[in-house]
Structure 1
């Protein structure tokens, strides 16, 4: 949905992006990579307004941070 702007389930083009967030105690849509909320990678969601299908995507600028933390 991020790239095609179309829902893969119902083909609707009414897609909204909900930005990820980092809040106290780990709340929000994020991946922790450090000790504080300032080091979390936020995970935006894409939602189809017709059928409710959702997808989560990591912004490309955040991939190197995740690789540094989690790659073996």
Structure 2
């Protein structure tokens, strides 16, 4: 969905991009890589508005490198 803007389940092109957000006390759509919210990696959601299918993506390549270093 991220790359094609088409839902892989129902072929709809009504895709909503919901950006990741880090809130207080570690809330939001994130992966924590440290002890503070400043170390949070934001996860972007892509949602099909017709069937409800969703995917989550890490959009920033640098964030992927941080995740590899943290969890490998």
Q: TM-score, normalised by structure 1?
A: 0.92
Structure 1 runs (4+) greater than 3 angstroms displaced: none
CA distance in 1, matches of 2:64, 2:54: 20
Unaligned segments of structure 2, at least 5 residues: none
Which structure's residues are more often strand, by fraction? 2
Give the paired residue count.
71
The residue matched to 1:47 in structure 2 has which SS?
strand
Aligned counterpart, 1:62: 63
**Residue correspondence of structure 1 range 1-72 to structure 2 within 5 A:** 1-59=1-59, 60-71=61-72
Measured after TM superposition, the shift of residue 35 of structure 1 is 1.3
Task: Write the deviation string for residues 40-64 of structure 1: whole angstroms up to 9, x where unpaired.
Answer: 0000000001111100011223110
Task: Please give the root-mean-square deviation of Cα atoms over the aligned residues, in Å.
Answer: 0.8
